[in-house]
Amino acid sequence: MKRIRKAIFPVAGLGTRFLPATKAMPKEMLPVVDRPVIQHVVDEAREAGIEHFIFVTGRNKSVIEDHFDRQVELEDTLRERGKTLEIDLLERDLPGPGATSFTRQQSPLGLGHAVWCARELVGREPFALLLPDVLVQHNPGCLAQMIEAYGALKPPANVVAVEEVPPERIHMYGVVGVGKTSGKTFAITEMVEKPKREAAPSNLIITGRYLLQPEILDILADQQTGSGGEIQLTDALIRLAKTQPIHGLKFSGRSFDCGSKVGFLAANVAYALARADIAPAFRAEVKHLLDES
Protein backbone atom coordinates (compact mmCIF):
# COMPACT_ATOMS: atom_id res chain seq x y z
CA MET A 1 0.00 0.00 0.00
CA LYS A 2 1.36 3.43 -0.97
CA ARG A 3 2.30 5.55 2.05
CA ILE A 4 0.28 8.70 2.78
CA ARG A 5 2.76 11.61 2.78
CA LYS A 6 0.61 14.61 1.88
CA ALA A 7 -2.41 16.24 3.51
CA ILE A 8 -4.82 18.87 2.21
CA PHE A 9 -6.30 21.49 4.54
CA PRO A 10 -9.14 23.38 2.80
CA VAL A 11 -9.33 26.79 4.46
CA ALA A 12 -11.10 28.82 1.79
CA GLY A 13 -14.63 28.76 3.24
CA LEU A 14 -16.38 31.95 4.30
CA GLY A 15 -17.08 30.96 7.91
CA THR A 16 -20.49 32.61 7.84
CA ARG A 17 -21.62 30.79 10.99
CA PHE A 18 -19.01 32.70 12.94
CA LEU A 19 -19.62 36.26 11.73
CA PRO A 20 -18.66 38.91 12.72
CA ALA A 21 -15.56 37.23 14.25
CA THR A 22 -14.64 35.90 10.80
CA LYS A 23 -15.15 39.15 8.88
CA ALA A 24 -11.44 39.97 8.85
CA MET A 25 -10.00 36.88 10.55
CA PRO A 26 -10.24 33.33 9.19
CA LYS A 27 -12.14 30.96 11.49
CA GLU A 28 -9.17 28.60 11.33
CA MET A 29 -7.13 31.19 13.25
CA LEU A 30 -9.54 31.39 16.19
CA PRO A 31 -7.69 30.06 19.24
CA VAL A 32 -8.53 26.91 21.13
CA VAL A 33 -6.81 27.73 24.43
CA ASP A 34 -3.61 29.37 23.13
CA ARG A 35 -3.17 27.91 19.64
CA PRO A 36 -5.15 28.50 16.44
CA VAL A 37 -7.56 25.71 15.49
CA ILE A 38 -5.50 25.08 12.32
CA GLN A 39 -2.36 24.47 14.42
CA HIS A 40 -4.11 21.72 16.37
CA VAL A 41 -5.15 20.06 13.09
CA VAL A 42 -1.69 20.38 11.52
CA ASP A 43 -0.23 18.80 14.69
CA GLU A 44 -2.64 15.87 14.33
CA ALA A 45 -1.36 15.39 10.75
CA ARG A 46 2.29 15.72 11.78
CA GLU A 47 1.86 13.17 14.54
CA ALA A 48 0.34 10.79 11.97
CA GLY A 49 3.50 11.03 9.85
CA ILE A 50 2.37 13.56 7.22
CA GLU A 51 5.36 15.27 5.59
CA HIS A 52 3.78 17.82 3.27
CA PHE A 53 0.98 20.22 4.23
CA ILE A 54 -1.13 21.68 1.42
CA PHE A 55 -3.39 24.62 2.29
CA VAL A 56 -6.17 25.67 -0.07
CA THR A 57 -6.71 29.28 0.89
CA GLY A 58 -8.90 32.15 -0.24
CA ARG A 59 -9.16 35.88 0.20
CA ASN A 60 -8.36 37.22 3.71
CA LYS A 61 -6.49 34.03 4.57
CA SER A 62 -2.86 35.20 4.21
CA VAL A 63 -2.56 35.30 8.00
CA ILE A 64 -2.63 31.46 7.91
CA GLU A 65 0.44 31.50 5.66
CA ASP A 66 2.14 33.94 8.05
CA HIS A 67 1.31 31.69 11.00
CA PHE A 68 3.33 28.86 9.47
CA ASP A 69 6.33 31.11 8.81
CA ARG A 70 9.00 32.62 11.06
CA GLN A 71 8.35 36.00 12.67
CA VAL A 72 11.92 37.24 12.65
CA GLU A 73 11.39 40.52 14.57
CA LEU A 74 9.38 38.75 17.24
CA GLU A 75 12.02 36.03 17.61
CA ASP A 76 14.78 38.70 17.88
CA THR A 77 12.86 40.53 20.59
CA LEU A 78 12.18 37.32 22.51
CA ARG A 79 15.88 36.42 22.28
CA GLU A 80 16.94 39.87 23.56
CA ARG A 81 14.58 39.39 26.50
CA GLY A 82 15.87 35.88 27.24
CA LYS A 83 12.48 34.28 26.57
CA THR A 84 13.86 30.94 25.37
CA LEU A 85 10.76 28.99 26.36
CA GLU A 86 8.60 31.10 24.05
CA ILE A 87 11.12 30.78 21.20
CA ASP A 88 11.10 26.98 21.60
CA LEU A 89 7.29 27.03 21.56
CA LEU A 90 7.22 28.92 18.23
CA GLU A 91 9.89 26.64 16.80
CA ARG A 92 7.99 23.48 17.77
CA ASP A 93 4.85 24.53 15.89
CA LEU A 94 6.61 25.19 12.54
CA PRO A 95 6.51 22.58 9.78
CA GLY A 96 10.02 22.20 8.29
CA PRO A 97 11.40 24.23 5.36
CA GLY A 98 9.59 23.39 2.13
CA ALA A 99 7.01 21.26 3.95
CA THR A 100 4.10 23.62 3.23
CA SER A 101 2.37 24.63 -0.01
CA PHE A 102 -0.38 27.19 -0.48
CA THR A 103 -2.78 27.38 -3.37
CA ARG A 104 -5.86 29.50 -3.94
CA GLN A 105 -9.49 28.67 -4.43
CA GLN A 106 -10.51 31.96 -6.02
CA SER A 107 -14.23 31.44 -5.33
CA PRO A 108 -15.72 29.29 -2.55
CA LEU A 109 -17.47 26.86 -4.92
CA GLY A 110 -17.63 24.04 -2.36
CA LEU A 111 -15.44 21.59 -0.48
CA GLY A 112 -15.09 19.28 -3.51
CA HIS A 113 -13.84 22.21 -5.58
CA ALA A 114 -11.36 23.22 -2.84
CA VAL A 115 -9.90 19.69 -2.84
CA TRP A 116 -9.64 19.71 -6.65
CA CYS A 117 -7.71 23.03 -6.47
CA ALA A 118 -4.87 21.07 -4.79
CA ARG A 119 -4.60 18.48 -7.61
CA GLU A 120 -1.21 19.62 -8.99
CA LEU A 121 0.31 19.70 -5.51
CA VAL A 122 -1.05 16.25 -4.63
CA GLY A 123 -0.01 14.56 -7.87
CA ARG A 124 -0.89 10.90 -8.42
CA GLU A 125 -0.61 9.56 -4.88
CA PRO A 126 -3.06 8.85 -2.06
CA PHE A 127 -3.52 11.76 0.33
CA ALA A 128 -5.15 12.78 3.59
CA LEU A 129 -7.82 15.44 3.79
CA LEU A 130 -8.49 17.16 7.11
CA LEU A 131 -11.28 19.69 7.58
CA PRO A 132 -9.59 22.30 9.71
CA ASP A 133 -12.72 23.33 11.58
CA VAL A 134 -13.08 19.85 13.10
CA LEU A 135 -10.95 18.98 16.12
CA VAL A 136 -10.68 15.45 17.47
CA GLN A 137 -9.33 15.13 20.99
CA HIS A 138 -7.54 11.81 21.42
CA ASN A 139 -4.10 10.28 21.63
CA PRO A 140 -3.25 8.75 19.17
CA GLY A 141 -5.00 11.28 16.93
CA CYS A 142 -7.82 10.49 14.52
CA LEU A 143 -5.59 10.61 11.43
CA ALA A 144 -3.00 8.29 13.02
CA GLN A 145 -5.79 5.80 13.77
CA MET A 146 -6.97 6.03 10.15
CA ILE A 147 -3.48 5.53 8.70
CA GLU A 148 -3.00 2.47 10.88
CA ALA A 149 -6.31 0.99 9.67
CA TYR A 150 -5.47 1.92 6.05
CA GLY A 151 -2.24 -0.10 6.29
CA ALA A 152 -4.28 -3.27 6.85
CA LEU A 153 -6.55 -2.76 3.80
CA LYS A 154 -6.23 -4.15 0.29
CA PRO A 155 -5.27 -1.40 -2.21
CA PRO A 156 -6.72 0.77 -3.60
CA ALA A 157 -8.59 1.79 -0.46
CA ASN A 158 -10.25 4.98 0.73
CA VAL A 159 -11.00 5.57 4.41
CA VAL A 160 -13.53 7.96 5.92
CA ALA A 161 -13.68 8.74 9.66
CA VAL A 162 -17.17 8.30 11.10
CA GLU A 163 -18.83 8.81 14.48
CA GLU A 164 -22.21 8.26 16.08
CA VAL A 165 -24.63 11.14 16.59
CA PRO A 166 -28.00 11.17 18.37
CA PRO A 167 -30.95 10.62 15.95
CA GLU A 168 -32.27 14.18 16.37
CA ARG A 169 -29.05 15.60 14.84
CA ILE A 170 -28.68 13.15 11.95
CA HIS A 171 -30.37 15.46 9.39
CA MET A 172 -27.47 17.93 9.64
CA TYR A 173 -24.72 15.62 8.34
CA GLY A 174 -23.48 13.20 5.67
CA VAL A 175 -24.55 9.73 6.84
CA VAL A 176 -23.08 6.35 5.79
CA GLY A 177 -24.59 2.90 5.25
CA VAL A 178 -22.77 0.10 7.07
CA GLY A 179 -21.66 -3.10 5.29
CA LYS A 180 -19.30 -5.92 6.20
CA THR A 181 -16.77 -5.31 8.97
CA SER A 182 -13.14 -6.35 8.52
CA GLY A 183 -10.70 -5.56 11.31
CA LYS A 184 -11.22 -2.02 12.53
CA THR A 185 -13.06 -0.80 9.43
CA PHE A 186 -16.34 -1.58 7.68
CA ALA A 187 -17.44 -1.30 4.07
CA ILE A 188 -19.46 1.85 3.37
CA THR A 189 -22.46 0.79 1.29
CA GLU A 190 -23.96 4.24 0.71
CA MET A 191 -23.55 7.90 1.58
CA VAL A 192 -26.49 10.27 2.00
CA GLU A 193 -26.14 14.01 2.54
CA LYS A 194 -28.43 15.43 5.25
CA PRO A 195 -31.11 12.67 5.26
CA LYS A 196 -34.39 12.87 7.15
CA ARG A 197 -34.10 11.00 10.47
CA GLU A 198 -36.36 8.14 9.27
CA ALA A 199 -34.48 7.78 5.95
CA ALA A 200 -30.95 7.73 7.42
CA PRO A 201 -29.09 4.45 6.71
CA SER A 202 -27.40 4.55 10.16
CA ASN A 203 -26.49 6.96 12.94
CA LEU A 204 -22.89 7.22 11.72
CA ILE A 205 -21.82 10.55 10.23
CA ILE A 206 -18.79 11.57 8.17
CA THR A 207 -16.52 13.54 10.49
CA GLY A 208 -14.01 15.56 8.46
CA ARG A 209 -11.02 13.24 8.06
CA TYR A 210 -10.44 11.27 4.84
CA LEU A 211 -7.73 9.12 3.22
CA LEU A 212 -8.33 9.25 -0.51
CA GLN A 213 -6.94 7.81 -3.72
CA PRO A 214 -6.00 10.34 -6.45
CA GLU A 215 -8.87 9.11 -8.70
CA ILE A 216 -11.22 11.30 -6.63
CA LEU A 217 -9.47 14.29 -8.24
CA ASP A 218 -10.36 13.00 -11.73
CA ILE A 219 -14.01 12.77 -10.67
CA LEU A 220 -13.95 16.28 -9.18
CA ALA A 221 -12.52 17.58 -12.47
CA ASP A 222 -16.04 17.25 -13.95
CA GLN A 223 -17.06 20.16 -11.70
CA GLN A 224 -20.57 18.75 -11.18
CA THR A 225 -22.54 20.86 -8.76
CA GLY A 226 -24.78 19.35 -6.11
CA SER A 227 -26.85 20.65 -3.22
CA GLY A 228 -26.62 24.39 -2.61
CA GLY A 229 -25.10 24.79 -6.10
CA GLU A 230 -21.71 23.77 -4.63
CA ILE A 231 -19.24 21.15 -5.88
CA GLN A 232 -19.71 18.58 -3.12
CA LEU A 233 -17.07 16.11 -1.98
CA THR A 234 -19.72 13.58 -0.91
CA ASP A 235 -21.15 13.49 -4.46
CA ALA A 236 -17.67 12.69 -5.79
CA LEU A 237 -17.22 9.99 -3.12
CA ILE A 238 -20.49 8.38 -4.19
CA ARG A 239 -19.15 8.21 -7.75
CA LEU A 240 -15.75 6.93 -6.57
CA ALA A 241 -17.49 4.10 -4.66
CA LYS A 242 -18.54 2.60 -8.02
CA THR A 243 -14.91 1.72 -8.82
CA GLN A 244 -13.04 1.67 -5.49
CA PRO A 245 -13.99 0.52 -1.98
CA ILE A 246 -14.63 3.17 0.65
CA HIS A 247 -14.17 2.04 4.24
CA GLY A 248 -15.48 3.63 7.41
CA LEU A 249 -13.47 3.85 10.62
CA LYS A 250 -15.23 4.55 13.91
CA PHE A 251 -12.38 6.42 15.53
CA SER A 252 -11.69 6.77 19.23
CA GLY A 253 -11.96 10.31 20.56
CA ARG A 254 -14.29 13.21 20.83
CA SER A 255 -14.90 15.59 17.94
CA PHE A 256 -15.69 19.31 18.09
CA ASP A 257 -17.15 21.30 15.20
CA CYS A 258 -15.22 24.51 15.68
CA GLY A 259 -17.08 26.10 12.77
CA SER A 260 -20.12 26.35 15.08
CA LYS A 261 -20.17 28.59 18.13
CA VAL A 262 -21.17 25.89 20.62
CA GLY A 263 -18.65 23.39 19.21
CA PHE A 264 -15.88 25.98 19.37
CA LEU A 265 -16.68 26.94 22.97
CA ALA A 266 -16.91 23.27 24.00
CA ALA A 267 -13.50 22.61 22.38
CA ASN A 268 -11.97 25.43 24.40
CA VAL A 269 -13.36 23.99 27.63
CA ALA A 270 -12.26 20.42 26.81
CA TYR A 271 -8.76 21.41 25.68
CA ALA A 272 -8.27 23.73 28.67
CA LEU A 273 -9.32 20.97 31.09
CA ALA A 274 -6.76 18.66 29.44
CA ARG A 275 -3.91 21.12 30.05
CA ALA A 276 -2.05 20.42 33.31
CA ASP A 277 -0.76 24.01 33.50
CA ILE A 278 -4.15 25.72 33.46
CA ALA A 279 -6.75 23.03 34.28
CA PRO A 280 -6.91 23.56 38.08
CA ALA A 281 -7.48 27.33 37.87
CA PHE A 282 -9.81 26.99 34.87
CA ARG A 283 -11.90 24.26 36.50
CA ALA A 284 -12.39 26.49 39.55
CA GLU A 285 -13.53 29.40 37.31
CA VAL A 286 -15.99 27.21 35.40
CA LYS A 287 -17.38 25.73 38.60
CA HIS A 288 -17.86 29.23 39.97
CA LEU A 289 -19.73 30.30 36.82
CA LEU A 290 -21.92 27.19 36.84
CA ASP A 291 -22.76 27.64 40.54
CA GLU A 292 -23.76 31.23 39.85
CA SER A 293 -25.90 30.52 36.77
Pairing of the two strands 158-164 and 246-250: parallel
Task: Pick the closer one to ligand UTP by CB: 153 or 176.
Answer: 176
156 touches ligand UTP by CB under 6 A: no
Is 16 an interacting residue with respect to ligand UTP (CB under 6 A)?
yes
Are 231 and 113 spatial neighbours (Cβ–Cβ below 8 Å)? Answer: yes
Residue number with the shortest CB distance to ligand UTP? 13
CB neighbour list of residue 67: distance below 8 Å, 6 or more residues apart: 29, 36, 38, 39
Report, in Å, the least distance between residue 282 CB and ligand UTP: 27
Under 8 Å between Cβ of 64 and 28: yes
Nearer to ligand UTP, 111 or 149 (CB): 111
Interaction between residue 119 and ligand UTP (CB under 6 A): no
Contact string 242-261 vs ligand UTP (x = CB under 6 A): -----------------x--
Kindly identify the residues of this chain, within the stretch 32-61, that bind ligand UTP according to CB under 6 A.
Answer: 56
**DSSP structure string for 127-141:** EEEE-TTEEEE-SS-
Q: Does 141 bind ligand UTP (CB under 6 A)?
A: no
Residue 109 sits in the site that holds ligand UTP (CB under 6 A): yes
Three-class SS state of 86: helix
Which whole-number Å values give the CA distances from 279 to 137, 140, 141, 274, in the listed order? 16, 21, 21, 7
Q: Which residues bind ligand UTP (CB under 6 A)?
A: 10-18, 56, 105, 108-111, 113-114, 131-133, 259
